[in-house]
Homo-oligomer: A and B are copies of this chain.
Amino acid sequence: MNSVSKTSEWVVRIAELEIHAEHLAAYRALLAEEIAASVANEPGVLTLQAVALKDAPEQVRILEIYQDQQAYERHLKTPHFLAYKSESAAMVKSLRLVPVDPIRMASKLLD
């Protein structure tokens, strides 16, 4: 891993969301915008990777990595996150946050 990160302090989790089918296109656009803004503007937001299940596209999974707990708490107060949260509220049928521990995270992608 590169030098921005100290794995031991990371906050890592998988968000599991179900989106109301009629709002799926709008939700995906909102989420994509929120992810781009967060990773571009917040030094402590290391990774936000969102996917939809091919066989159930209303099922969204997001792998989230924050530098540490403080970075996560700052993220929750940013204008882009607050706008996403409020605009997506009625689109989200359920949200489950699953805390995880990294085993090995290797990538050659950068946004």
Chain A residues in the interface with B (C-beta under 8 A): 1-2, 4-5, 12, 14, 28, 31-32, 35-36, 38-40, 46-55, 57, 60-61, 63, 65, 98-111
Contacts and interface: CB of A to CB of B under 8 A. Distances in A.
Given A36-B104, A57-B101, A109 B50 contact: no
A100 B31 contact: no
Interface of A is mostly: strand
Nearest to A52: B101
B111 A108 contact: yes
19 contacts: A2-B109, A4-B109, A14-B61, A35-B103, A40-B106, A46-B109, A47-B107, A48-B107, A49-B49, A49-B106, A49-B107, A50-B103, A51-B101, A51-B105, A52-B100, A52-B103, A63-B63, A65-B107, A108-B110
Contacts of A49: 49, 63, 102, 104-107
B111 A54 contact: no
A51 B60 CA distance: 17
